[in-house]
Structures are given as C-alpha cells and as structure tokens.
Amino acid sequence: MKKTLLILVAMAALWSCNNHKKETTGVAQPAQIKKIVDSMLVTDSGWGAITPRTDFTGLQNIFGAASVKDERICGPECIDSIDVTKIYPGTNKEIVVYWRDSFYHKQIVYLQNSEEGSPYRTPTGLKVGSTLKELLDLNGQKISFSGFGWDYGGYIQSFNKGSLDSSSVHFRLDLTENDDNSLFGDIDLNTDLPAVKKSLEKIKVYQISLTLFNDPLHEH
C-alpha cells in the first residue's frame, strides 16, 4: 500500500513539472511575438519603423518627444520657407520629415537624410557616400541626372528602366572633387558620357530620400 502511494505521488509530481514547463517554455502565441524592425533600413515601404501611417504623435512614440522637433527651413532657391519636422536634429542620424499638411502633421510626404556618416542604408547597401558606380552597377542601365553646383543639381532624373527605376527610394548626387567644370550647371548628364564615366568614383550619393505619399505639390 505504501509502495503504491509513493508511485502515485511521484507520478503527480512528474505531471505537474511537465505541465509547468509547457506553460513557461511553450511556443509563443502571435500576440507575444514582436516584429523586429531595423531602424537604419530604408525600403519602399518605410524608413525603419516610420510607415505611411505614421503621424507626428507616432514619431514621438518611436523616437521620443525630445528627439522630434519642428523647424522652418529655406526652400529651393530660398524663395519660400518650409515647415518640417526633424528627428535627431544636428546629428548624422537626422531625418527631415516633409508633411502633406505641415499644420496637422498627419500625412508624411517624404523623408530625407543628407548627413555625412549617416547610418541609414537600403537593403542593397546604398547609403550617403555610395558612389555613382555602385548605383550604376546595381541599376544595370544608364543613369540620367542634372548637373552640379545649383539648387537642383545632382538630382537623378531617370534610372532608364533599370532595377532601381520603380523604387520609392531616391538619391541625390554630388561631385566630391571639383576637377571638371563641364559637369556643373543647369545641364542634363548621364553615365554614358565620357566625362561622367571618368568621375564614377568621385560622384557620390549625398542625400537619400523616401517618398511615402505622391503629391505633385511637394515634388523634390
């Protein structure tokens, strides 16, 4: 009788232990799984945790209220001023946020970063500091862009149906060494031109931006 009782007690203890392990080490339920977001990754669908649905309050929740500041900046050719929001202002992680309606801060049109040493990158590794040769190799087709040295200089006009053509991620270029005046001014350039071919390693990305809402009133 005592032997039977001891066996029953042991079995009950073993069942209790196994049941506890199932509760504590079992597969997490969907509600428990948190999606890991790379805050430095810029894709067609978002900039880190910033998505088309993110508003001003959302930015504060992501980055903290102290890191999100409104600021009035000079627009192209300083004809007009623009009200923007800056995330991590004054650092190499600074993101400039342009709003569809700067008063209500509900819809982000696009975001950009142009800081030296910026940590942001695309899934293919393009970032501030990448060379035009890197873009050309990834695109697989010639790249057309505007000449340097003026307010609209260095904007990529077309990827000419290459692999980067349909992306919402955009790049602006700059010539790091001013050794060819033929590349400056309000002119159209492309990577098939001999003068550009000579400077593929000297022409670099100095600004990366992401369009989240297509609005002709906020072309950049």
Range from 19-28, 37-46, 196-205, 208-217 carrying the lowest mean pLDDT: 19-28
Q: How far apart are the first and last CA of the chain?
A: 87
At residue 71, φ and ψ (nearest 5 deg) are -155, 150
| d(C-alpha 219, C-alpha 201), whole Å | 28
- Residue 8 three-state SS: helix
**pLDDT at position 215, please?**
58
Residue 77, pLDDT score = 67
CA distance 20 to 189: 69
Token pair recorded at residue 160: 């000419």
Has residue 112 got a pLDDT over 80?
yes
- What's the predicted TM-score (pTM) here? 0.78
Tens digit of pLDDT for each residue in 155-174?
Answer: 999 999 999 999 999 999 99
State the average pLDDT over residues 212-216: 72
Q: Given this model, what pLDDT does residue 24 score?
A: 43
How far apart are alpha carbons 77 and 55 in whole angstroms? 28
Residue 218 has pLDDT above 70, yes or no: no
Give per-residue pLDDT as tens, 37-78.
789 999 999 999 999 999 999 999 999 999 999 999 987 667
Q: How far is CA 7 from CA 16, 40, 162, in A?
A: 14, 59, 74
Q: What are residue 12's phi and psi, to 5 degrees? A: -65, -40
Amino acid at 204: K
